[in-house]
Amino acid sequence: MPKVSVIIPIYKVEQYLRRCVDSVLCQTLEDIEIILVDDGSPDQCPQICEEYQMLDSRIRVTHKENGGLASARNAGMRIASGEYIFFVDSDDWIDPDGLQKLYQVAEEEEVDFVRYRMFRSSWPGLGENAPCMLEAPREMPGGYYDQERIKKELFYRLIVTPQMTLGPIVGVCGGLYRRRFLTDNDLRFYEEIKFSEDLIFSARAVCAAKSLYYIEEACVYHYFYNPNSISHSFKKDRWDSCKASIRLFEKDFKDSKIYDFSDQLCIFRWFCIFLSLNERQKIGSIERVDYCKEILSDPLTRTTKIPSLNVKIFWKHRILMFFVKWRWAWVISII
């Protein structure tokens, strides 16, 4: 059994793929397997994957029809055999001693997963390899977290914070997960969520964890700014994906017996509505009003309640909520 299974979902990244795979091949922790998941990529990525499989016996390649990141990661997890699972996006890369460092911490601390702060590489306005700093409400101290500390310091902002930012633990590329922990808790990605599919995965992982460890200093992973990635381009089906996220979050957390997440679920609905409306900034002014109207007239939006005054959110968010409830699409389209 290899110590770590590295899962790399691949789609239209031939420009960056070799850099990513090479960074994993040169790890000081050599007892690993590398799973390249070709998610129906239409470029030269499938051929590059096959080339690498011929070069190193630790590489396994699986080809599938395009289904998105969640589907690709699930495909990799199904064939992974390592003690731990590590996810790398195919336009990013990791330091040579990255897996060794994370594996050592996971073994010494005996935790379900290890988290760490990433580097941001080639991001506009930032220096090269800048630490990935989060908004203040999302930051968390480093160190060991048992179940009591997880519940006390993370549950109240697990899904979303009162400031309407995401919680402190989101992207799966920021962690090394014990494979037995994932299988025992049936932790997989919901494939109907096409964007930010790791939000609910991460929240479920935190709820299931008996312990975790967070490395506060930036290390291991280089999160590359790719202007052509799905996170930086217009997503016409963002709203459909957000509705799937809302439905699944409410399915998994609404009747939780370990914590009352009701206020967070309400705020998360609004987070998804605003996130989807923000896509208007990436399209022409003529299409913006119709795009906003579609979201504002959706039954899910119409049935989303404005949080009570006991829920502390910014006043500007409350004003936007009333614009949404009044269906002022033309106002929202220009602000």
Per-residue pLDDT of the chain (335 residues; tens, 9 = 90+): 999 999 999 999 999 999 999 999 999 999 999 999 999 999 999 999 999 999 999 999 999 999 999 999 999 999 999 999 999 999 999 999 999 999 999 999 999 999 999 999 989 888 888 999 999 999 999 999 999 999 999 999 999 998 899 999 999 999 999 999 999 999 999 999 998 999 999 999 999 999 999 999 999 999 998 776 655 556 778 999 999 999 999 999 999 999 999 999 999 999 999 999 998 887 777 788 999 999 999 999 999 999 887 788 888 899 999 999 999 988 888 87
CB atoms within 10 A of CB 71: 21
Rounded Cα–Cα distance for residues 158 and 166 (Å): 8
Domain boundaries, the chain: 4-231, 234-334
Rounded Cα–Cα distance for residues 196 and 226 (Å): 16
In the three-class reduction of DSSP (H, G, I as helix; E, B as strand; rest coil), residue 160 is classed as strand
Q: Which CATH superfamily is domain 4-231 in?
A: Spore Coat Polysaccharide Biosynthesis Protein SpsA; Chain A (3.90.550.10)
CB atoms within 10 A of CB 258: 10
Q: Are 147 and 254 in contact (CB under 8 A)?
A: no
Rounded to 5 degrees, what are φ and ψ at 34? -120, 120
Q: Which two tokens stand for residue 294?
A: 């579609």
Amino acid at residue number 44: Q
pLDDT at residue 276, rounded to an integer: 94
In angstroms, the Cα distances linking 168 to 114, 139, 171 are: 14, 6, 10
pTM for the predicted model, two decimal places: 0.94
Q: Would residue 196 be called left, alpha or beta, if left means φ above 0 and alpha means ψ between -120 and 50 degrees?
A: left
Q: Which two tokens stand for residue 116?
A: 């760490």
pLDDT at residue 281, rounded to an integer: 81
